């Protein structure tokens, strides 16, 4: 299987065949502006010294400061981070926000660190990268396994080093420390606004049967939002596997069960299933909300959903894309479907710089308008070029990035 960056470049090659953007422009987008690898020495609680590998990829800043999250995961590596930074550049462009694409990470299992070790590691990442970060240069945010508390540590460390106390260098902070209302649910909420805008075009029923792969922040929030809107959540999963109930899971009770037990398995009236089985369930809407490369040429033929909405980054490989297109299963692509998170991050950045604080109602009103507008423009591009929604989103994003060169 190709790594995420190879998949991202395959997507770029494909869109370049659909619309002529000029060879030099495409060549420029094939490499990031800068990829930085750092070693972070941390004194562990037992007195030993451990070296962690960290990354920051600054992909493209034609539309504004580099923007993108930081993930802590044992399998995080440079090709994954480069792919995510590329997708972030497109995501900001398709969402219509004046920011570029970046991504960061540390190869670490944060569950094996104490709180003190985690704080020292997070501050260490900032210490190594403070000279390239800044509210007008590069603005990190949370991602997999990074929390508002970690963002607060990072913002504090940056302020100590540089004297900049606006907080605008980091988004996803706690509310009391410059964070934005609505940031915690923004990725899923934005995805829901896109779903609502495209539901008729996707030929979906007014009330859908939904399966969600991934039950972290995006997946659990999506389950809650779709459930409260009257849809039936028939299956969810996490890294250990999933649960299924053909009559629908009680999401309110499931969220409490997961919080209390740390698990999905054993939830009353549910059947234990694998992640692979979840992807093949008969449903109206499949929402991948976990990691990259989940729907592949190996399992795409088994997908029975009427439509897919990608809350994860890069969950569908290019080979699977082709298979699903032939099966007439539309995919609402990640660079639009999950751009609610970065859009509200942009709102937080703007509020910090202007010393303002918007209500949650104001945040979601602005988010809804932007997501609906981008969904409409993506659909227009897809129809005009007689291609799928992913390529429609890529065309929209690349048009906006290229316009930034002038």
Sign of the Cα torsion 220, 371, 154, 63 reads positive
Sign of the Cα torsion 389, 288, 70, 257 reads positive
* Residue 251 burial class via C-beta count within 10 angstroms: exposed 0-12, middle 13-18, buried 19 and up: buried
Catalytic annotation, residues: 103
Q: CB neighbours (10 Å) of residue 262?
A: 9
Sign of the Cα torsion 231, 268, 246, 304 reads positive
Phi, psi at residue 336, to the nearest 5°? -105, -50
* Residue 363 burial class via C-beta count within 10 angstroms: exposed 0-12, middle 13-18, buried 19 and up: buried
* Residue 12 burial class via C-beta count within 10 angstroms: exposed 0-12, middle 13-18, buried 19 and up: middle
Burial profile 264-294: b = 16 or more Cβ within 10 angstroms, e = fewer: beebeebeebebebbbbbebbbbbbbbbbbb
CA distances from residue 346 to 135, 319, 339, 391 in whole angstroms, order as listed: 11, 33, 11, 24
Q: State the alpha helices, DSSP H only, in 78-147.
A: 78-95, 115-129
Q: Give the C-alpha separation, 2 to 16, whole Å.
A: 20
Contact between 184 and 216 (Cβ < 8 Å): no
Tokens 């990442």 correspond to: 125
Of 12, 213, 217, the closest CA to residue 101 belongs to: 12
Strand pairing of 307-309 and 241-244?
A: unpaired
């Amino acid at each position: 299987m190709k790594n995420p960056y190879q998949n991202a470049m395959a997507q770029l090659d494909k869109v370049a065949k659909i619309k002529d953007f000029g060879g030099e422009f495409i060549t420029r987008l094939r490499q990031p502006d800068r990829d930085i690898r750092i070693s972070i020495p941390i004194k562990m609680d037992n007195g030993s010294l451990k070296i962690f590998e960290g990354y920051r990829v600054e992909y493209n800043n034609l539309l504004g400061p580099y923007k993108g999250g930081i993930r802590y995961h044992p399998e995080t590596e440079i090709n994954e981070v480069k792919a995510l930074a590329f997708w972030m550049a497109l995501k900001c462009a398709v969402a219509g926000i004046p920011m570029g694409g970046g991504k960061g990470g540390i190869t670490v299992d944060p569950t094996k660190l104490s709180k003190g070790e985690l704080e020292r590691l997070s501050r260490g990442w900032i210490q190594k990268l403070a000279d390239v970060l800044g509210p007008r240069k590069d603005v990190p945010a949370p991602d997999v396994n990074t929390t508002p508390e970690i963002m607060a540590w990072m913002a504090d460390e940056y302020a100590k080093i540089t004297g900049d106390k606006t907080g605008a260098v980091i988004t996803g902070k706690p509310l009391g420390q410059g964070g934005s209302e609505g940031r915690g649910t923004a990725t899923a909420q934005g995805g829901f606004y896109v779903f609502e805008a495209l539901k008729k075009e996707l030929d979906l029923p007014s009330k859908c049967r939904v399966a969600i792969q991934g039950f972290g922040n995006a997946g659990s929030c999506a389950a809650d939002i779709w459930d409260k809107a009257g849809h039936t959540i028939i299956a969810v999963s996490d890294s250990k596997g999933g649960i299924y109930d053909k009559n629908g899971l009680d999401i309110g009770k499931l969220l409490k069960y997961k919080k209390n037990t740390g698990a999905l398995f054993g939830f009353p009236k549910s059947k234990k299933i694998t992640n692979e089985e979840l992807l093949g369930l008969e449903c109206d809407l499949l929402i991948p909300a976990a990691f990259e490369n989940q729907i592949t040429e190996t399992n795409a033929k088994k997908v029975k959903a009427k439509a897919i909405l990608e809350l994860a980054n890069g969950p569908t490989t290019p080979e699977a894309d082709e298979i699903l297109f032939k099966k007439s299963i539309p995919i609402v692509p990640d660079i639009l479907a999950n751009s609610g998170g970065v859009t509200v991050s942009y709102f937080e950045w703007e509020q910090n710089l202007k010393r303002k604080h918007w209500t949650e109602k104001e945040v979601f009103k602005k988010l809804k308008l932007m997501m609906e507008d981008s969904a409409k423009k993506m659909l227009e591009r897809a129809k005009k070029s007689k291609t799928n929604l992913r390529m429609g989103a890529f065309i929209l994003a690349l048009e906006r990035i290229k316009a930034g060169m002038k």
